[in-house]
């Protein structure tokens, strides 16, 4: 039996005593005195334990190539790297955010997408070195934690990041994603939606359930629910709703949709007007003077929906969810936005899709939409009255939103 030499024992002891420079450090000290990491049974080395920063830099550069089964290029190689692309793309999007051309929520989505790209490919990976197989592996990884619809949205955003690199002349040729990075097919999306409906039901509330919700709701949530049912407004719409958008004397809402800027005009039901009058009468004083223009603020005088680049605090969704739980109506896919689904579904019976889209604030990119200069008030009234009759099919059920 061969005994270990003193130098071998010393190196092992030195490695055992080498602590990681910080929790989560990706490398391990090897008995040879080098930082290392194993992949598919093979040990890879990144430099002496005496210089962990240099080893980490080398690791961040080489590891994405190692797990892709490719030879890493020299660390000094010129070209746009993933970290540089992510930083420039987010700087571009932050400029749009500052100018009011992009919402905080959308910026947050782009930020998370860039973080996912960096995690998948590595900070130091050359953008020009990416291949179709890299994107195919990324798609498989993304599909493990996303449904078909979310996967398609994320693939769109990722493609947008790399398209920006070419459009901004950061790379000389477009990225070839390959067939393995395709968005889910329409058939896949339909099947997934059908499966969800079979398991959890439709993403809308039936008229009887909505009447029960209105009967149980207190102000100002009741007024918000009625605006969702009457006009298809979502939470961000309501949180940003200015007083100038409402004319309670004539009973009309004129409010371009913040998400798209598309013109939107909606006749208000008498029940909606009454609820709004009650909500406005008890509205607390806004904490921020700039919010004095808003119809709705919380009891603390704050906006109901607060979106930042890092998080989204939606108090409307939370209060509505509490009400659904209280009435035993909570199920997957049913939330405040289900009111918008319900309006679209019920309004479809009016057989006037152009008027329905106008109330919903949907953009019409068709040739007819480009030529159409407006929708008559009579058509808009007919659509909203059709939804009102769906919700309250007889006069008895219109009293206080009850049965």
What is the domain extent for residue 99?
82-200
**Is the residue at 292 inside a domain?**
yes
Per-residue pLDDT band for 17 (boundaries 50, 70, 90) equals low
Please report, rounded to a whole number, the percentage of residues in the chain having pLDDT higher than 90: 65
Q: What sign for the dihedral angle of Cα 345, 347, 349, 354?
A: negative
Same domain, 121 and 247: no
* Contact predicate 221/297, CB 8 Å: no
171 DSSP β-pair partners: none
pLDDT mean across residues, the chain? 87
Same domain, 158 and 220: no
> Does residue 1 carry a pLDDT above 60?
no
**Is the residue at 266 inside a domain?**
yes
Same domain, 246 and 174: no
CA distance 15 to 13: 5
Give me the residue label for tokens 């989560």. Answer: 24
**Is the residue at 397 inside a domain?**
yes
Tens digit of each residue's pLDDT (9 = 90 or more) over 339-391: 999 999 999 999 998 899 888 887 666 666 555 667 899 999 999 999 999 99
User: Domain tally for the chain?
Assistant: 2
Could you give the residue ranges of the DSSP H alpha helices within 295-376?
315-326, 338-347, 353-360, 367-371
End-to-end CA distance of the chain: 91
pLDDT of the residue at 10: 45
CA distance 232 to 342: 8
Same domain, 129 and 172: yes
Same domain, 316 and 172: no
* CA angle, 261 then 193 then 156, to 5°: 50
Q: How far is CA 130 from CA 79, 120, 160, 327, 395, in A?
A: 12, 11, 15, 52, 65
Tens digit of each residue's pLDDT (9 = 90 or more) over 54-88: 999 889 888 988 888 888 877 766 789 999 999 99
* Contact predicate 134/121, CB 8 Å: yes
Same domain, 114 and 188: yes
> Cα 368 to the chain's mean position, in Å?
31
CA distance 349 to 368: 21
Tens digit of each residue's pLDDT (9 = 90 or more) over 271-322: 999 999 999 999 999 999 999 999 999 999 999 998 776 667 899 999 999 9
Tens digit of each residue's pLDDT (9 = 90 or more) over 322-348: 999 999 999 988 999 999 999 999 999
Q: At what angle do helices 315-326 and 221-231 cross, to 10 degrees?
A: 90
Q: How far is CA 331 from CA 68, 203, 320, 403, in A?
A: 42, 9, 13, 23
Helix/strand/coil for 156? helix
Tens digit of each residue's pLDDT (9 = 90 or more) over 187-217: 988 988 888 877 777 888 999 999 999 999 9
Per-residue pLDDT band for 45 (boundaries 50, 70, 90) equals very high
Tens digit of each residue's pLDDT (9 = 90 or more) over 121-158: 988 889 988 999 999 999 999 999 999 999 999 999 99
* Contact predicate 202/193, CB 8 Å: no
């Amino acid at each position: 039996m061969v005994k270990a030499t003193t130098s071998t024992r010393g190196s092992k002891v030195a490695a055992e005593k080498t602590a990681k420079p910080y929790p989560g450090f990706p490398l391990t000290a090897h008995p040879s005195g080098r930082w290392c990491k194993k992949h598919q049974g093979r040990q890879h080395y990144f430099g002496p334990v005496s210089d962990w920063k240099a080893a980490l830099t080398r690791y961040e550069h080489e590891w994405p190539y190692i797990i892709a089964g490719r030879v890493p290029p020299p660390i000094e190689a010129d070209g746009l790297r993933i970290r540089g692309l992510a930083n420039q793309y987010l700087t571009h999007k932050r400029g749009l955010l500052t100018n009011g051309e992009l919402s905080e929520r959308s910026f947050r989505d782009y930020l998370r997408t860039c973080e996912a790209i960096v995690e998948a490919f590595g900070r130091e990976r050359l953008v020009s070195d990416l291949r179709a197989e890299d994107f195919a592996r990324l798609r498989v990884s993304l599909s493990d934690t996303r449904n078909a619809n979310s996967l398609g949205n994320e693939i769109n955003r990722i493609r947008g990041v790399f398209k920006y690199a070419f459009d901004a002349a950061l790379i000389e040729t477009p990225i070839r994603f390959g067939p393995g990075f395709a968005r889910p097919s329409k058939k896949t999306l339909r099947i997934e939606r059908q499966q969800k409906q079979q398991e959890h039901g439709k993403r809308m509330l039936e008229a009887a359930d909505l009447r029960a919700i209105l009967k149980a709701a207190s102000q100002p949530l009741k007024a918000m629910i009625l605006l969702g049912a009457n006009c298809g407004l979502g939470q961000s719409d309501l949180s940003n709703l200015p007083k100038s958008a409402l004319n309670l004397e004539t009973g009309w809402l004129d409010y371009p949709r913040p998400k798209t800027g598309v013109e939107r005009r909606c006749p208000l039901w008498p029940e909606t007007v009454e609820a709004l009058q009650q909500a406005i009468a008890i509205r607390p004083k806004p904490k921020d003077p700039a919010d004095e223009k808003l119809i709705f603020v919380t009891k603390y005088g704050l906006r109901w929906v607060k979106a930042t680049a890092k998080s989204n605090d939606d108090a409307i969704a939370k209060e509505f969810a509490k009400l659904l739980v209280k009435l035993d109506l909570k199920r997957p896919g049913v939330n405040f936005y289900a009111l918008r689904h319900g309006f679209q579904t019920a309004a479809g019976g009016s057989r006037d899709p152009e008027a329905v889209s106008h109330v919903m604030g949907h953009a019409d990119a068709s040739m007819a939409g480009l030529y159409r200069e407006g929708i008559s008030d009579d058509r808009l009234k007919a659509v909203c009255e059709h939804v009102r009759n769906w919700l309250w099919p007889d006069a008895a059920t219109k009293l206080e939103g009850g049965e």
